[in-house]
Structure 1
Amino acid sequence: MVLLMSILKMEFNNNQYQCHTVFEYKDYPKDAGFKWEKKAKCWYTDSIILTKNLIDTLKKEKFVYEMSDSFTEQYEKEEKALKANLKAASKVASKFKAPAPVGLDYLPYQKAGIEYASKKGSALFADEMGLGKTIQAIGVINTKPNVKKVLVICPATLKTNWKRELSKWLVNDDLRNAVSVVGSKIGLSTSDIICDVMNYDLIAKKAATLALVEYDYIIFDEAHYLKNEKSKRTEEALKIKSKNFFALTGTPFLNNPFEIFTIANKLDPVAFKSYGSFGYRYCSGHFQKVDPDSLKNLDELQSKLKEAGMIRRLKKDVLGELPDKVHSTLAIPTDSSNSDFKFAIRAEGQFIEKSFKEYNSILTALSKIKKRTDEYSKKLEELRAMKTEFRSQISRIRRETAIAKAPIVAEYLQEAVESQGKVVFFAHHADVLDIVQNKLTAAGIKAVRVDGTMSQKARQASIDGFQNGDAQVFIGSIRACSEGITLTASSTVYFGEMDWTPAKMMQCEDRCHRIGQKNSVSVINVVVENTIDDYIASTLANKRIVISKLLNEENEQDGEYKEFDFDDFFKFFGMDAEKIESEEQQAA
């Protein structure tokens, strides 16, 4: 509608954008998010985003309006700053020089995120999974040499991972040396230098100690854990004193916009003032079950979140910077309350310790016996027998650990589905596949499966159900899925068990990394901290050993190998064996 004269005037007074208009046209400022000021008899806001909403609508509808000089000057200045800020929040490359440890560096889009967050102070890292939110958060801390007190709060299953990443990426030696994982029996630090990692469930129990410290930075990982503003967990978490904070989540709101309110409010209490006003503005006043049709003003919400400090990039935005496949290890801490899990981990530890004592005893004896004697030959034979028995037992031990950790792995997969959609899971043993499949089904997640017992027709039905149907998780046997399968419906691969040879795992990974895949593929090896699988993940990642010939190729443990560096293995667990000459080692 085109008016012949201006009956809507924009002004800037008392640090507010004001809209003066007649009752008939009140919906223009009201719908844009302005509030009514009774005394001044005008609509007002202090938000450049809401003001831009109104101006854009008026221009679109060719509505004639008037602007005072003070309004024009302020609006143009703030609009320019807003555009620059929104661009920085989604920037995919930067030459920003963020300190990093020797031999490590950030990708260009990570530098852009570090640059933006370091300027904002507090930030919401909302990049899609697999883009390195953890590294960026640590990167910001690296830009602040005076930071002395850091607290990371995350799910219990991620504590070990945070410990490893902090130890790897922090450039401040004092902070890196202070990294500590807090548990029910391990307390929080109150010293001058703090770098603690704790899980959300411990916040209430540690409240008294937390109240004694003001942190330089708090990092809330998987920040959707704080989505319920009325939960005790959220209330206690937001009470912790800090100068700045980071919230990390690849899914800012899993089911509806309300789930981001607590973090949004902490980032900018003025822009996101109350739960009620947030609900009316973005969910049409629906506070319980939010229907997609009731969602509104989401572009505005996106802009306000970015203006407040949200950084959001998708894999497709930075695909040119990402390698074809990104490998990472997700270490499960050993302090789980599950009794079966505890028993299996303890049994594995005892097996490693017993094997080392036997191995080292034989080596010690060999070092004292004269070479090329009958006694020496007998000891070498004893060493060979010990190694053969070790290789036989290690398969059983690994299987028992894999079964014990399978319920925890299923929880990871459930979270992955909720945050990013379809995922692929591989493991060796049928027991592990069974447990994971049953747990996911009980959680209401549809999973399909391919293993060596299935007919070709059944295999194809499972593949089609994942590729083209509504199946959310593909569960596959490493041995049965190494070729002839396309799973490009997902770009996320989890391994619940490790294989001794990279080639076998790469073949499985490549089910997702094929023609038709539009994203970089994230490959996550889920291991238990300080276990045999943790060793395998470490050695394969660092290319420390090359293992060749198969042992028992036809049995279910296909993947165990004859050549094995025992010294390297035990050293991983902090055990140094007696040294003997390499010729004797090879002979054994």
Structure 2
Amino acid sequence: HLRRSCFVRRLKADVLPQLPAKRQVVVPVSLENEREYRLAERDVVAWLREQPLDLSELESKVAAALRAERLAQLNALKRLAARGKLGPALAWIHDFLESDEALVVFAGHREVQELVLERFPDALHILGRDSIAQREAAVQAFQDPDGPPLIVCSTRAAGQGITLTRASNVAFLDLDWTPAVHDQAEDRCHRIGQHDAVTAWYLLAAQTIDETMIELIARKRGIVGAVTDGREVATEALVESVVRELRGQPPRRRLKSVA
């Protein structure tokens, strides 16, 4: 009867104590489309301030439409930030590869994925457009010590069910709304067979929605951990947290670009 209403959670650190450590590092990068982004963010913030903050009192269809429009507006800012930081991000990848270490690059936006492959034509890839056979061949080639040192992956398509332990470094070029997606992607390297500490590099555009979202992701990670560990947590809806932050005067941001 007990198993019908609860479950036992076993942490990876408890089950696999021999697994090396994993850490996340934020790398703030500059925007190359600063003016375009700032104008777009100003318009989005103005639109958000015109809408009711609490949608719970609205008629359900109206509230659903506004939530969908909110998400569309926020995703448009995400795409602009991803596009604007791509030049510095590509330079960072180039510099990293000079160290002769393997690197797994994750991106959610297809445009970003294709532009990275255009810049590094010898890189392997696991993308939504790839067949199962192509994905398996890419994994096998990457795991070969003599194979290409760079693999470009769709955050969603390559986030589960594959092993990329040749690399101990993972880079994210954009952010997903769900922390578990990042955790799963990081764990393509942080799993049995990995002998080195794993670093997940988050290349974020400073002073943009990237910065707001990484705080959101950290908060979500904490909430998920607290809930599944049995500790009570009370928090407002998380996308609404981003809306609240952007509606601020001005949004609170601290990152300074270093690349």
TM-score (norm 1): 0.34
Work out the CA distance in 1 between the residues paired with 2:212 and 2:222. 11
Name the structure 1 match of 2:125.
449
Asked if the contact 2:180/2:221 (under 8 Å) is kept, the reply is no
Higher RCO, Cα 8 Å, sep 6+ = 2
Name the structure 2 match of 1:575.
249
Give how far 1:345 is off: 2.0
The amino acid that maps onto 2:132 is: Q
Q: For 1:248-303, what per-residue CA distance to the aligned partner results, in whole angstroms no more than 9, with x for missing partners?
A: xxxxxxxxxxxxxxxxxxxxxxxxxxxxxxxxxxxxxxxxxxxxxxxxxxxxxxxx
Name the structure 2 match of 1:352.
44
Question: What runs of 5+ residues in structure 1 fail to find an aligned partner?
Answer: 1-319, 367-375, 548-562, 578-588
Equivalent runs, 1:41-440 vs 2, <5 Å: 324-334=21-31, 338=32, 341-359=33-51, 362=52, 385-440=65-120
Cα distance, 1:344–1:511 mapped onto 2, change above 3 Å: farther
Work out the CA distance in 2 between the residues paired with 1:323 and 1:515. 10
Work out the CA distance in 1 between the residues paired with 2:104 and 2:149. 9
TM-score (norm 2): 0.73
Cα distance, 1:565–1:477 mapped onto 2, change above 3 Å: closer
Give how far 1:483 is off: 1.8
Q: Which of the numbers 233, 240, 255 marks the counterpart of 1:566?
A: 240
Give how far 1:329 is off: 1.3
Give how far 1:461 is off: 2.0
Give how far 1:387 is off: 3.0
Give how far 1:546 is off: 5.1
Asked if the contact 2:213/2:242 (under 8 Å) is kept, the reply is no
Cα distance, 1:569–1:363 mapped onto 2, change above 3 Å: closer
Give how far 1:507 is off: 1.0
Please provide the CA RMSD for this pair: 3.1
Asked if the contact 1:513/1:521 (under 8 Å) is kept, the reply is yes
Asked if the contact 2:29/2:204 (under 8 Å) is kept, the reply is yes
Work out the CA distance in 1 between the residues paired with 2:222 and 2:45. 22
Task: For residue 540 of structure 1, give the secondary structure of its aligned residue in structure 2.
Answer: helix
Cα distance, 1:381–1:564 mapped onto 2, change above 3 Å: farther
Give how far 1:513 is off: 0.8
Task: Give the length in aligned residue pairs.
Answer: 220
Q: For 1:534-581, what per-residue CA distance to the aligned partner results, in whole angstroms no more than 9, with x for missing partners?
A: 21211222448859xxxxxxxxxxxxxxx544255433674389xxxx
Name the structure 2 match of 1:496.
173
Same amino acid, percent of matched pairs: 28
Cα distance, 1:571–1:483 mapped onto 2, change above 3 Å: closer
Asked if the contact 2:20/2:194 (under 8 Å) is kept, the reply is no
Work out the CA distance in 1 between the residues paired with 2:220 and 2:130. 35
The amino acid that maps onto 2:179 is: P
Work out the CA distance in 1 between the residues paired with 2:53 and 2:126. 45
Q: For 1:443-469, what per-residue CA distance to the aligned partner results, in whole angstroms no more than 9, with x for missing partners?
A: xxx311011211222212221221103
Which has the greater radius of gyration? 1
The amino acid that maps onto 1:505 is: H
Task: For residue 486 of structure 1, give the secondary structure of its aligned residue in structure 2.
Answer: coil
The reply to whether residue 471 of structure 1 matches residue 145 of structure 2 is no
Q: For 1:36-67, what per-residue CA distance to the aligned partner results, in whole angstroms no more than 9, with x for missing partners?
A: xxxxxxxxxxxxxxxxxxxxxxxxxxxxxxxx
Cα distance, 1:544–1:458 mapped onto 2, change above 3 Å: closer
Work out the CA distance in 2 between the residues paired with 1:519 and 1:544. 23
Give how far 1:515 is off: 1.3
